[in-house]
Amino acid sequence: MQFKSSVRVLAVAMSLAVLAGCSSTGGTQDAAMDGTGGAGNGVGTGTAGAARVSGSGLGEGAGQMAGSRLPEVRTIYFAYDSDAIRPEFQPVLDAHARFLRSNPDASVMLQGHTDERGTREYNLALGERRAGAVERFLSVQGVSPSQVEVVSYGEERPAARGHSEEAYAQNRRVVFAY
Amino acid sequence: MRALMSTWVVVLLSLIAPLAQADLTIDITRGNERATPIAVVPFAEDGQTLPVDLARVVADDLERSGYFAPLERRAMFARPASGDEVAFGDWQALDTRYLVVGRVSREGEGIRIRYELLDVSGESRMLGERITAGQDQLRAAAHRISDQVFEAITGIRGAFSTRIAYVTSQGVGESTAYQLYVADADGRNSQQVLGSDQPIMSPAWSPDGNKLAYVSFETGRPAIYVQEVASGRRARVTSFEGLNSAPAWSPDGRRLAMALSRDGQPEIYVMDLASRNLERITDAPSIETEPAWSPDGDSLIYTSDRSGGPQIYRHDLRSGEVQRLTFTGDYNARGRFAPDGESLFLIHRGGNGYRVARQDLDNGRLVELGDAGQAESPSVAPNGTMVIFATQQGGTGVLGAVSADGRASFRLPAAQGDVREPAWSPFLN
């Protein structure tokens, strides 16, 4: 029980870090790709902050737990019209790779999503390309292909409603669904 | 087998839910200044009041086409019900070019409608017809009158008796609900054909207008289904690993083109529906999707990002020759042929976002149509005069339509939720 609650504390700490990340750092990758300013940075950077914290938290503080417990951060975000895995999310992918390697019976569905801009069927293909990039990353890390499945939802299941850059940044994502 | 049973129940339930209507209303956003003046006089009703204002339905149809500007009723100082009651000079003074008059009377259980189309300047009758309709067929009868009037004047077959399919959704995230509807071309008389808590995409009419192909995620993964509109009976035709998307019927109705990623990247395939045999059409390390058949069935167009961004390519099915068609701008996608095969309607990204555009195939010239924004999913009326598409209005998904020459446009908002992915049916009569 005590162990569980410490995980919860870690999760809360990470959530706080997400909020802190929003105001402190200035990841500009999305903004540069989008050709837009301010609004989009908040979300993009916020999640980046979370990824960094979770990386160090799992790597140093949690040790063995990283491989045996399901990683808390299960969504990573992408730049506009890009399937490149941003460096700040590599620790998240590392954590999932460790978990899947240590738990050969576990399997994950990688759900690829896009923002609403552009045509629906093309976006469905772009969402698959994003999830496929994550799948390849896990494969290189030694995760068995039989543990990983890819499904794209394109723009059909937005996480955030609205038509702002902020909403778009939250919707360009791959979700690890266990 | 149990899974199959439960999907049947879903379909049947949605068929017997008559209250689940999502009629669309029509807002004309831009009228055509060169539209022909016409007057559709309220039909005389002998001793009864019909539940449908036939002349109003006809006038609205004609106005929506962009070809006609119906005279407002308050400007009509006479209400003739037949040609021999018409004083042509009065209508000439109003600059009305054509006049539609009619009379309805009871005939047994049904309604008899007599109407005439008159050429005001030529002072002659162009068309006269008698229609008998049931009480529940009055709107259909009005659309038939619109079709006849439209063709008599323009020489182009009317497409007012057609239908549209579209997808609606409410909510966000895990609790989103999705529905597939069909409605009359004016947005009325809507019927839900499928409901799901998982996405529904890409409805496509069979060339005979009896079936819809679509993509449903109801199993948690995308699969292509073919469903009879009238009975609700359906079959799952593909559920390969990866993408199963963008079904498009061949003009003969025997084959479906589609995008599958079963071999890695999304590629274009053609399935023979009788044998379920698959033929792979494209082979490239890029995205290939959004196939559409040329009207003669000899070639497919599709979207590919092999050049970096999405552009439209044409694949000749006899020679295998591939030709890039679009070169204006860095985003051209989801092309659809005009019925004469001489131009494409597509989504083009310009300075102000995504909009419908027409590209003439002989000279490659691209013309932007309609408002810029988030336009997607263009679908062409079977007579080629209008393109319906999905767009946004006040942050909500609505359907829009624009005439093929860009001069007239209208919107079809829904009472609630987002509407998208319109598919215009073929001629149904």
Rounded to the nearest integer, the mean pLDDT of chain A is 73
pLDDT at A60 over 80: no
- Residue-by-residue DSSP string for A44-113: HHHHHHHHHHHHHIIIIIITTHHHHSPPS--EEE--TT--PPPGGGHHHHHHHHHHHHH-TT--EEEEEE
The mean per-residue pLDDT over the stretch B413-421 comes to: 86
B112 or A68: which carries more pLDDT confidence?
A: B112
| Chain B, nearest residue to A159 by Cα | B173
Q: Which of A121, A158, A162 sits opposite B246 (nearest CB)?
A: A121
| Chain A, nearest residue to B220 by Cα | A151
Give the integer Cα–Cα distance in Å for B224 and B180.
14
Cα angle: B240, vertex B229, B167; to 5 degrees: 65
Per-residue confidence band for B412, with pLDDT thresholds at 50, 70 and 90? confident
- Name which CATH class applies to B31-154: alpha beta
Amino acid letter, B238: T
Amino acid letter, A77: Y
**A156: which 2 tokens?**
């059909």
Identify the burial level of A39 via C-beta atoms within 10 angstroms of its C-beta, where 0-12 means exposed, 13-18 middle and 19 or more buried. Answer: middle
Taking only the tens place, the pLDDT of each residue in B47-93 is 778 999 999 999 999 999 999 999 999 999 999 999 999 999 999 99
Taking only the tens place, the pLDDT of each residue in A79-135 is 998 999 999 999 999 999 999 999 999 999 999 999 999 999 999 999 999 999 999
Per-residue confidence band for B33, with pLDDT thresholds at 50, 70 and 90? confident
According to the model, what pLDDT value does residue B29 have? Answer: 74
- Separation in Å, CA A114 to CA A129, A131, A178: 10, 11, 20
Amino acid letter, A88: E
Interface residues of A toward B, Cβ cutoff 8 Å, are 116-122, 124-126, 128-129, 150-154, 156-163
Share of chain B above pLDDT 70, in %: 95
**B95: which 2 tokens?**
């600059």
Tell me how close the Cα of B142 comes to any Cα of chain A, in angstroms. Answer: 35
- Name which CATH class applies to B2-23+162-424: mainly beta
Cα angle: B392, vertex B209, B193; to 5 degrees: 60
The CB density around residue B221, as the number of other CB atoms within 10 Å, is 19
According to the model, what pLDDT value does residue A6 have? Answer: 38
Residue indicated by tokens 């679908």? B379
Share of chain A residues as helix, strand and coil, in percent rounded to the nearest 5: 60, 10, 30
Taking only the tens place, the pLDDT of each residue in B290-301 is 999 999 999 999
- Cβ <8 Å between A121 and B261: no
According to the model, what pLDDT value does residue A65 have? Answer: 52
According to the model, what pLDDT value does residue B417 have? Answer: 85
Strand partners, B233: none
Domain residue ranges in chain B: 2-23+162-424, 31-154
Q: What is the ipTM of this complex?
A: 0.91
Give the SS3 label for residue A13. Answer: helix
Highest mean pLDDT among A9-23, A41-55, B179-193: B179-193
Size of chain A in residues: 178
Phi, psi of A110 (to 5 degrees): -90, 115
- Domain covering A2-177: architecture: 2-Layer Sandwich (3.30)
Rounded to the nearest integer, the mean pLDDT of chain B is 92
According to the model, what pLDDT value does residue B21 have? Answer: 61
- Residue-by-residue DSSP string for B245-306: EEEEE-TTSSEEEEEE-TTSS-EEEEEETTT--EEE----SS-EEEEEE-TTSSEEEEEE-T
**A63: which 2 tokens?**
């040790």
Residue indicated by tokens 């209208």? B410
Which of A83, A156, A164 is best to mutate for the B interface (most B CBs within 10 A)? A156
According to the model, what pLDDT value does residue A94 have? Answer: 96
Please name the helix (run of DSSP H) or strand (run of DSSP E) that holds residue A33, with its range, or none. Answer: helix A29-34
